[in-house]
């Protein structure tokens, strides 16, 4: 086999995988999903799903990758289950779809960095015109894709890992500074209360589905991203402790991002949390005004700092999203990595054009893409743009992918094979308690619970039936 490269050590892998997990999902999406899902009740469900359902799936993905040292499609073939390679193909399709719209939002974040750096605090009020300005957002999206492609083309240790080693610590330091700052603002406590004290009556089929989707999306699960990253992991590394670390980092940063956001939101709404801007605009519309109140100099520094942080977080995620189809093309069609990167990046960018154009620039892509019973966001009502539409389809595909991967590992590949792969780098695994938990997860809990929740999600989004309010 050609030399595919690999991570230089366990820390390199952990940082890259945590970099994949921590992204717009944590800092941009998590707070507004929490807002739409009724606050702390959503946070509770999300945490439960991450540890109960996602953790076993994560260990399984990494194990399948390391065992086969291949991309998600090649992996299932190499294990001898040609019929199951549909999981890999679906994963690669999901990756292309996610990157196509994710890159657009990453471009907004990057653009906001420049706007803030030049002191344009009015941009928050002009979020609508900004995203409809195709020349501008198109340019930023191209720039972001080029940056991503550059890192991926440098390979696993020289590009992906190196970027994560630099960006992840920077991100964590930046975010902690902002939390410290936002807690000092007036009305901060009202925001924290909303975030941390659950109102369990807010739980229904839609919020439950939202929390589950958020868990999978945020941990980069269900599409073979971690099969791909796992394929570059050494047999000497402990997969279980790596996965634990990745999960804790991701959940921790999402949680901290909430601690940063809700005081800022509460400050900007003078403590009226119901006035909160719902949906995609939460960060982009609300924050520039908050930064403005800090005065010209501090405002520019904090504002630019924030959107730089958001761009860093997005970059380690777009890198992982691009790596999945690239690894597939490199492994299966024997194309050189640099050529594969250019090819895939162009295809993904073209695929993203409707998402780019569907925020006001082109009416057709802005208004015609509601799901039948569309939105589970009570705050914003319907969003009918192309970007929201494909985002929801992709989220749902991840749940399906997670379900299929757990069924495969628990009942097709069989748990003794999974056990054996996990044992490399974890000597006492076979006699450990965590083995029982992971096996219980992939054989029973994940297949069953994911299946049931997938039905709930499909019913609520595609048929308008909310299982919870039926009784
Ligand atoms: N987890 C990232 C975020 O929270 C997004 C992401 C990167 C992703 N790679 C992925 C989501 C693979 C699903 C699958 O922003």
Instruction: State in Å: Cα 216 to ligand 1 middle.
Output: 8
Distance from chain centroid for Cα 394: 11
57 lines ligand 1 (CB under 6 A): no
Domain annotation covers residue 67 = yes
Which residue CA neighbors atom 7 of ligand 1 most closely?
317
218 lines ligand 1 (CB under 6 A): yes
Ligand 1 atom nearest 317 alpha carbon: 7
- The 10 Å Cβ neighbour count of residue 385 is 23
pLDDT of res. 373? 59
Domain annotation covers residue 469 = no
Q: Which residues of the chain have pLDDT under 70?
A: 1-2, 278, 372-382, 469-471
Which residue CA neighbors atom 13 of ligand 1 most closely?
220
- What is the rounded CA–CA span in Å between residue 446 and residue 404? 10
pTM, full prediction: 0.93
Domain annotation covers residue 149 = yes
Tally of domains in the chain: 1
pLDDT of res. 74? 96
pLDDT of res. 382? 55
pLDDT of res. 17? 93
- What is the rounded CA–CA span in Å between residue 255 and residue 82? 40
pLDDT of res. 2? 53
Domain annotation covers residue 452 = no
Domain annotation covers residue 113 = yes
Domain harbouring 304, CATH code: 1.10.4160.10
Tokens of 222: 């269900």
Tokens of 373: 């019973």
pLDDT of res. 444? 96
User: Which residues, in sequence order, are CB contacts of 433 under 8 Å at separation 6+?
Assistant: none
Which residue CA neighbors atom 12 of ligand 1 most closely?
220
Instruction: State in Å: Cα 251 to ligand 1 middle.
Output: 13
pLDDT of res. 121? 93
Domain annotation covers residue 455 = no
Domain annotation covers residue 391 = no
160 lines ligand 1 (CB under 6 A): no
For residue 196, the enclosing domain spans 2-362
Which residue has tokens 């965590």? 434
pLDDT of res. 471? 57
pLDDT of res. 127? 93
- What is the rounded CA–CA span in Å between residue 62 and residue 240? 9
User: Which residues, in sequence order, are CB contacts of 301 under 8 Å at separation 6+?
Assistant: none
- The 10 Å Cβ neighbour count of residue 79 is 18
pLDDT of res. 302? 85
pLDDT of res. 1? 47
Ligand 1 pocket test: which of 19, 25, 249 has the largest number of ligand atoms within 8 Å of its C-beta?
A: 25
Q: Shortest CA distance to 320 belongs to which of 228, 453, 437, 435?
A: 228
**DSSP of 51-114, one letter per residue?**
IIIIHHHHHHHHHHHHHHTS-HHHHHHHTT-GGGHHHHHHHHHHHHHHHHHHHHHHHHHHHHHH
Domain annotation covers residue 440 = no
Grouping H, G, I as helix, E, B as strand and the rest as coil, residue 141 is helix
């Amino acid at each position: 086999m050609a030399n595919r490269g690999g991570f230089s050590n366990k820390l390199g892998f952990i940082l890259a995988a945590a970099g994949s997990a921590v992204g717009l999902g944590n800092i941009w999406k998590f707070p507004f999903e929490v807002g739409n899902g009724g606050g702390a009740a959503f946070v509770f469900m999300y945490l439960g799903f991450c540890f109960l359902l996602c953790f076993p799936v994560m260990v399984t993905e990494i194990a399948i990758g390391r065992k086969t040292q291949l991309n998600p499609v090649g992996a299932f073939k190499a294990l001898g289950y040609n019929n199951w390679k549909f999981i890999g193909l679906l994963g690669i399709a999901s990756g292309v779809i996610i990157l196509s719209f994710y890159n657009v939002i990453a471009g907004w974040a990057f653009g906001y960095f420049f706007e803030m750096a030049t002191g344009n605090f009015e941009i928050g009020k002009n979020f609508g015109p900004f995203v409809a300005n195709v020349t501008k957002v198109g340019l930023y999206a191209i720039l972001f894709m080029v940056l991503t492609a550059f890192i991926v083309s440098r390979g696993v240790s020289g590009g992906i890992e190196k970027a994560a080693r630099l960006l992840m610590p920077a991100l964590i330091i930046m975010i902690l500074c902002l939390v410290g700052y936002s807690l000092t603002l007036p009305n901060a406590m009202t925001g924290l209360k909303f975030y941390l004290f659950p109102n369990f009556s807010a739980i229904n089929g839609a919020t439950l589905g939202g929390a589950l989707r958020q868990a999978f999306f945020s941990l980069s699960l269900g599409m073979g991203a971690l099969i791909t990253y796992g394929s570059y992991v050494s047999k000497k590394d402990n997969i279980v402790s790596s996965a634990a670390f990745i999960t804790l980092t991701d959940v921790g940063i999402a949680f901290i991002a909430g601690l940063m956001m809700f005081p800022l939101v509460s400050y900007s709404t003078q403590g009226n949390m119901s006035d909160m801007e719902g949906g995609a605009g939460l960060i982009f519309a609300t924050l520039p005004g908050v930064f403005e109140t800090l005065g010209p100099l501090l405002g520019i520094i904090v504002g630019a700092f924030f959107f730089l942080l958001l761009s860093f977080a997005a970059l380690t995620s777009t890198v992982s999203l691009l790596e999945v189809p690239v690894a597939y093309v490199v492994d299966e069609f024997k194309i050189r990595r640099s050529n594969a990167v250019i090819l895939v990046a162009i295809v993904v960018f073209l695929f993203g054009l409707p998402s780019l154009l569907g925020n006001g620039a082109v009416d057709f892509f802005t208004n015609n893409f509601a799901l039948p019973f569309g939105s589970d966001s009570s705050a914003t009502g319907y969003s009918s743009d192309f970007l929201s539409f494909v985002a929801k389809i992709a989220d749902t595909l991840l749940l399906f992918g997670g379900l299929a991967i757990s069924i495969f590992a628990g009942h097709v590949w069989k748990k003794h094979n999974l056990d054996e792969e996990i044992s490399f780098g974890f000597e006492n695994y076979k006699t450990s308690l965590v083995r029982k938990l992971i096996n219980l997860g992939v054989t029973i809990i994940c297949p069953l619970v994911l299946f049931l929740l997938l039905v709930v999600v499909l019913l609520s989004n595609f048929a308008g039936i909310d299982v919870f309010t039926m009784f």
